[in-house]
Chains A and B, each alone.
Chain A
Amino acid sequence: MNVEQIILIFVAASVTNNFVLTYFLGICPFIGVSNKVESAVGLGVATTFVMTMAATFTWLIYHYILVPNGLVFLQYVTFIIVIASFVQFVEMVIRKISPALYKALGIFLPLITTNCAILGLTLFMVLRDYTFIEAVIFGLGAGVGFTLALVLMAGIREELEFADVPDSLKGAGITLILAGMLALSFMGFGGLISG
């Protein structure tokens, strides 16, 4: 296994091709849950976990069940079921094992199913023909990237409370404009990979 390739996939998924800021995946929670750093970290960690797991499971299902049986046309339905049931499973396990953690994460967990970043991740994984290890690393990197964007945004928004924002831009408007500026600064990482 090529170590360089793996590092490249990780860096690309987390920074240079950040899911939120270049692919626009996971915008709903990005705008909805980014007003406090604390909750942003919680959601980020939970999402990273589900992403890594979703990449692992959908890769196995896609390559060992769907492709050999010619059922590729069922991929969207299968993937979304895998993601939804995995989120459900994580929710149940966390509730059993650590009620405290469940309380902290509880409200965010169901939201993860409709996070397009996760379905997007599984689709990109298939499109790019990743090997199993690459897919798992890709899932992890995408999760880290999502967390990074979410936490950065939450940090900025906490500061924003003291700023004088025009009435009509309050809420979604200013958040989107800030996201645009973040996206601009993330473009600076673009040179990382070719160099």
Chain B
Amino acid sequence: MIKNFFKSDVIKMISALAVVGVFSAITLVFVYEYSMPKIEENIRRATDEGIKSIFPEADTVEEMKHKGVFEVRGQDKNLMGYAFIAEGNGYQGPIQVIAGVDPGLRTMTGLQILESQETPGLGAEIAGDFRKQFSGLSVVDEIECIKNREPDKPGEIEAITGATISSQAVVNMLNNRLAELRDKLGVK
């Protein structure tokens, strides 16, 4: 009885599932091959545009041996600073930003949001005026995220009203990444 059972139904079920599975995998390989180069190109373009907006006078941008850190040089090959990608979790999902900092890792030159799924009108405002606060910000000490008052000390950032979590997330990911960068580049 068990033998018959296996002969009829189970084999039929398993082979049907296997056929569908194989077809699915083959289709997806083709889709993957077609789209992956384009996706990588899109990501590269977004990163490049981000760096260009932080360092408008940049001439050459080169990724260093540390992943996600770029060396930015100007026309006369002088080092203008570093651009680095930082990631972390915001309120709704992952946030990815690209930030620029001077060669001595003392002052930030700017910040661009690469990816965020924050609430439009609230958390998504990290891409608005909030972001502009980072140009020229001192990062000698850790950046501090403050609420309900104007920043009066260097290194202070005012959080977006109603979106403290998103604001804090951006500040945290920058602090972490800056500490890491200091370590890797050997800058005191």
Question: B residues touching A (Cβ–Cβ < 8 Å)?
Answer: 21, 24-25, 28-29, 31-32, 89, 91-94, 164-165, 168
A94 to chain B: closest CB distance in Å? 22
Q: Are B165 and A193 in contact (CB under 8 A)?
A: yes
In the complex, which residues of chain B have a beta carbon less than 8 angstroms from the beta carbon of A194?
A: 164-165, 168
In the complex, which residues of chain B have a beta carbon less than 8 angstroms from the beta carbon of A127?
A: 93-94
B101 to chain A: closest CB distance in Å? 24
In the complex, which residues of chain A have a beta carbon less than 8 angstroms from the beta carbon of B168?
A: 194
Q: Are A74 and B94 in contact (CB under 8 A)?
A: no
A137-195 residues at the B interface, CB under 8 angstroms = 190-191, 193-194
Question: A residues touching B (Cβ–Cβ < 8 Å)?
Answer: 17, 22-23, 73-74, 77, 124, 127-129, 190-191, 193-194
Q: Are B94 and A128 in contact (CB under 8 A)?
A: yes
B125 to chain A: closest CB distance in Å? 15
B161 to chain A: closest CB distance in Å? 13
A79 to chain B: closest CB distance in Å? 13
Identify whether the interface residues of A are mostly helix, strand, loop, or mixed.
helix
Known: A73-B28, A73-B31, A74-B25. A128 touches B164 (CB 8 A): no
Tell me, in angstroms, the Cα distance from A73 to B33 when the chains sit together.
10
B114 to chain A: closest CB distance in Å? 14
Q: Are A17 and B91 in contact (CB under 8 A)?
A: yes
Q: Can you list the 5 inter-chain pairs with the closest CB atoms, starting with the nearest? A: A73-B32, A194-B164, A73-B28, A128-B89, A194-B165
In the complex, which residues of chain B have a beta carbon less than 8 angstroms from the beta carbon of A73?
A: 28-29, 31-32
Q: Which of A77, A124, A128, A190 sits near B165, CB closer than 8 Å?
A: A190
In the complex, which residues of chain A have a beta carbon less than 8 angstroms from the beta carbon of B31?
A: 73
In the complex, which residues of chain B have a beta carbon less than 8 angstroms from the beta carbon of A17?
A: 91-92
In the complex, which residues of chain A have a beta carbon less than 8 angstroms from the beta carbon of B92?
A: 17, 22-23
